[in-house]
Structure 1
């Protein structure tokens, strides 16, 4: 599946999640106010946060496909990671913090619910469970269609799966809290459900934010890609040694590769240029996402001579240091 096709499917998945969350947020808010339920109001805040995050993800999908320009020569692939980070912040602030607030307010002031309020609350939660579950199944179906682990590399799709999975679990917690409140008359159960929803949202926000942060500051390509590139370079007959290999993910389908290699002696400048072009093409063919490849090429003999010269210079400097002179003088 091409990246463009995968992005279209992800956009549909995000739009499905957005439509479900907007309707569910309204239903939960109305039901929570009518029932006076802190757990249901916490879930309403959760759905509002999810709705805003889906807008962030739609922006990410559009902007990450912009072509490279003079100010951004490596393209806009990291836009996905930036907007995914904002989505994580939204889950933390709008979902987690408000849920904690509702839980503590319920513990402090209590809450009384009528039978009709409970009925309305359970109806809303039932509709929410079915809607969130359908959205989650849609997202998981796309993940499987994109190869499972490979599909979860997309921060937009990963965020939708995390949000919908958390929403299904949150609805379950809210329902359990309301049921126990109704059976025992103790608001502590519903307050505890709100606090549990808040803790769950904070944890999910932390995981999503941590992943986005790693990719924003420059995460290396996965270990398999690194091993493939290094092994390919070492197999080239013109390469004497691979001194260093650095990689960085620029986007979902874009990786920067920078390698310092020593060539065997005896190659003239034209041969070196031809070898560099061929090696770059070989790497790009083996690892398609490696679209930015830079080789720092040196002659093996010249590299050894330079290394020997640097080593000799360090020895001479050490021998001429005051400490070494003092030791010789004392002897």
Structure 2
């Protein structure tokens, strides 16, 4: 009985540890989700009290962002499933599908509703009431969004190394990190536009300017959505590993005296941290089939130890003159 209780306690501890590990691994997403839910509620309350179109669109923006974080968390959970008969290379690329869905939601809901609401406010302008509530909510939202943005930027900088900001985004194979960063950046810019719209509407006594701010926020979201969709599409279709990893594979094979030439090394990401590699190499003619099999096993073992992200390795012996060299 004591052993059984000990085993149950161990399982519970392991469960708590796994839960905490999952939160730590997705800290950026959970942080952004918590911030956006609170901000969305505050913005909708402020919009109802003041009649601000730009504040209403900002509420929709935060609500869409909250849904996006939930979808990305769902995608990560689905992508972590083990390989099976139908998907022998795993489900890692399902995360890229959900990243593309997120980009489409930003475009269709975030940008679409913002532009539509701004258009209606220009056609039928409603004078804004006391703007103080708007400024308070915008200030709080800026602090919360800024905290989420700082967390996302810190996590992104930890992975990009010495690469430039834009180059690191183009090279990244983990959409969750850079999508949250883009969303938070757009959210901060949207807050500035909303504040300008509220101020200008009162200062110039022209409520249509608040509608114009909503349209500007929608245009910003549309641009961000199209950029994210392009990045997600590339990952969904399949992107190769970085050039440094491919060079390491080539050099590892070239050091083997039994290999006369490396014809090609072709890679594709099956998940952010999982790569399939297909290698064509010209083996020495004097190798027997048994020697070739042992050589391939040794190479696979060495590559796995050197590059743990290589989830699957395929090596094909092929004469150089018969291979398509790339």
Using the size of structure 1 for normalisation, the TM-score is 0.84
Assess, with a 3 A threshold, how the Cα gap between structure 1 residues 7 and 259 changes in structure 2: closer, same or farther: farther
CA distance in structure 2 between the aligned counterparts of 1:79 and 1:28, rounded to whole angstroms: 33
Match of 2:113 in 1: 98
Match of 2:90 in 1: 75
Measure how far apart 1:6 and its partner are.
Answer: 8.2
Measure how far apart 1:274 and its partner are.
Answer: 0.9
Measure how far apart 1:32 and its partner are.
Answer: 1.1
Are 2:189 and 1:169 equivalent residues in the alignment? Answer: yes
Assess, with a 3 A threshold, how the Cα gap between structure 1 residues 265 and 218 changes in structure 2: closer, same or farther: same
Are 2:138 and 1:125 equivalent residues in the alignment? Answer: yes
Question: Which structure 2 segments of 5+ residues have no match?
Answer: 1-18
3-state secondary structure, aligned to 1:256:
strand
Match of 2:280 in 1: 260
Are 2:224 and 1:204 equivalent residues in the alignment? Answer: yes
Match of 2:6 in 1: none
Match of 1:311 in 2: none
Measure how far apart 1:141 and its partner are.
Answer: 2.5
Match of 2:297 in 1: 277
Q: Residues 60-116 of structure 1: CA distance to partner in whole angstroms, max 9, x if unpaired?
A: 2212221111111111111221111111111111111111112211221122112x2
Assess, with a 3 A threshold, how the Cα gap between structure 1 residues 92 and 47 changes in structure 2: closer, same or farther: same
Are 2:265 and 1:245 equivalent residues in the alignment? Answer: yes
CA distance in structure 2 between the aligned counterparts of 1:137 and 1:243, rounded to whole angstroms: 45
Preserved contact between residue 9 and residue 142 of structure 1 (Cα < 8 Å): no
Are 2:249 and 1:234 equivalent residues in the alignment? Answer: no
Q: Residues 149-208 of structure 1: CA distance to partner in whole angstroms, max 9, x if unpaired?
A: 679542112221111121111111100111111100123432221111111111111121
Match of 1:144 in 2: 157
Using the size of structure 2 for normalisation, the TM-score is 0.85
Give the superposed CA RMSD: 2.2
Preserved contact between residue 233 and residue 242 of structure 1 (Cα < 8 Å): yes
3-state secondary structure, aligned to 1:296:
strand
Match of 1:18 in 2: 33
CA distance in structure 1 between the aligned counterparts of 2:234 and 2:303, rounded to whole angstroms: 25
CA distance in structure 2 between the aligned counterparts of 1:111 and 1:184, rounded to whole angstroms: 14
Are 2:127 and 1:107 equivalent residues in the alignment? Answer: no
Q: Residues 252-273 of structure 1: CA distance to partner in whole angstroms, max 9, x if unpaired?
A: 1110100111111111111100
Task: Kindly tell me the number of residue pairs found equivalent between the two proteins.
Answer: 298
Assess, with a 3 A threshold, how the Cα gap between structure 1 residues 28 and 5 changes in structure 2: closer, same or farther: closer
Preserved contact between residue 10 and residue 157 of structure 1 (Cα < 8 Å): no
Match of 2:9 in 1: none
Preserved contact between residue 173 and residue 235 of structure 2 (Cα < 8 Å): no
Q: Radius of gyration: which is bigger? A: 1
Match of 1:318 in 2: none
Preserved contact between residue 48 and residue 94 of structure 1 (Cα < 8 Å): no
